[in-house]
Structure 1
Amino acid sequence: MIFEMRTYQLKVGVLQRYMEQFGRVGLPIVERYCRLVGYWSLDSGRLNRVVHIWAFESLEHRDECRRRWWADPEWVEGYIPLALPLVESQESVIMSAAPFSPIR
């Protein structure tokens, strides 16, 4: 099992709008292709950020899920035009769980 942690830096003042849009429109689409482990907004440190973690069986599984997800017109034509204007930058980190991790 691998995990992808994605961090999005949002424009100032749009956090609540971004979270609402993702929960209502984006998440139902993404969940067709991958499993959400957790989703957070940051209240300290660098603000106006969201962090989410997704689980995949392998890197190949991640690649296949993302290929199918990005071929979905509801995502590309429906959600991306809503979200893109709210995002300043994004970061992706691929992680493997330690053998003793409670989440594996």
Structure 2
Amino acid sequence: MRKTLPYRNIKAVASLKPSAWCTALFHTSPRQEDATFYEFRTYTVKPEKMTDFLELTSRNIHLRTAHSQMIGYWTTEFGELNKVFHIWKYGSFAQRAAVRTALAKDQEWQGKYMSQMLPLLDKQESEIAYLVPWCELGRPEKDGVYELVTFQMKPGGPVVWGQSFKAAVSAHVKTGYTKLIGVFHTEYGRLNRGTSHADFQDKQALNPDSRASGRHNAHEDPRVVAAVRESVQFLESQQNCLLVPTAFSPLK
């Protein structure tokens, strides 16, 4: 029998199956305890050093991926600038600990990359997230750009705002202007921000103008307008950024 843990902070990454994404995001029952998790790492790079950082990483990232699986690696185009965002997959915390130990002992990785990379950074952040058991991590059908969106809702969790927010998101998804990649909830990280979730949206058209036109059309839909008006009463803040995959990112 699978164990369950209480629903906590929610992180979402868009799924290629919108219906599954909506179900997962607003499910109010306990989640299964899955050993597999994902580490979300965000690096703030010194503005004048971004080119150097990406060139250095491109030359040496194979040394890092020899130790564990990288899901994707992006730079920010809009939102908080001078940042890179990458996702790593682990089968357990024991595996992550073993990987970190091995990396510390990997002289080639330390010499060719870490010693040269760290002076290029201003800040490092890490979050641990689980893929919810109601969806699978998808892949876009075409190369594109991604949107990371974080909503911070008022205290109380899905029992308070879940149905209204689900209706708002469902109404947007049904407009069909975007595709979704997956759904995660945060286990370690920004827990002091209350309940939050984020999503990645594959824009497929390679042009963020499609987002603007899509949202414009969606917000003229009476169903979307009504759903948003109902859900916004539970929203405290919202943040998003446009992500561009690097040349060495598995997710394009």
Name the TM tier (shorter chain): over 0.9
User: Cα deviation per residue 1:41-99 (whole Å; 9 max; x = unaligned)?
Assistant: 00111100000000010111111111111110012222112111110010010111101
Give the CA deviation at 1:3. 0.4
Report the Cα distance in structure 2 between the residues aligned to 1:68 and 1:95, rounded to whole angstroms: 22
Which residue is 1:3 aligned to?
A: 38
Q: What is the aligned-residue RMSD (CA, Å)?
A: 1.3
Which residue is 1:87 aligned to?
A: 121
Higher RCO, Cα 8 Å, sep 6+: 1
Give the CA deviation at 1:15. 1.5
Task: Tell me the secondary structure at the aligned position of residue 14 of structure 1.
Answer: helix
Report the Cα distance in structure 1 between the residues aligned to 2:120 and 2:51, rounded to whole angstroms: 11
Please list, as runs of the form range in 1=range in 2, the aligned pairs for 1:69-84 lying within 5 A after superposition: 69-84=103-118
TM-score by length of 1: 0.92
TM-score by length of 2: 0.39
Amino acid paired to 2:108: E
Which residue is 1:102 aligned to?
A: 136
Question: Identity percentage over the alignment?
Answer: 31
User: Cα deviation per residue 1:12-47 (whole Å; 9 max; x = unaligned)?
Assistant: 12222211110112x111111110000000011110
Unaligned runs of 5+ in 1: none
Give the ranges of 4+ consecutive aligned residues of structure 1 lying more than 4 Å apart after TM superposition.
none
Unaligned runs of 5+ in 2: 1-35, 138-181, 183-252
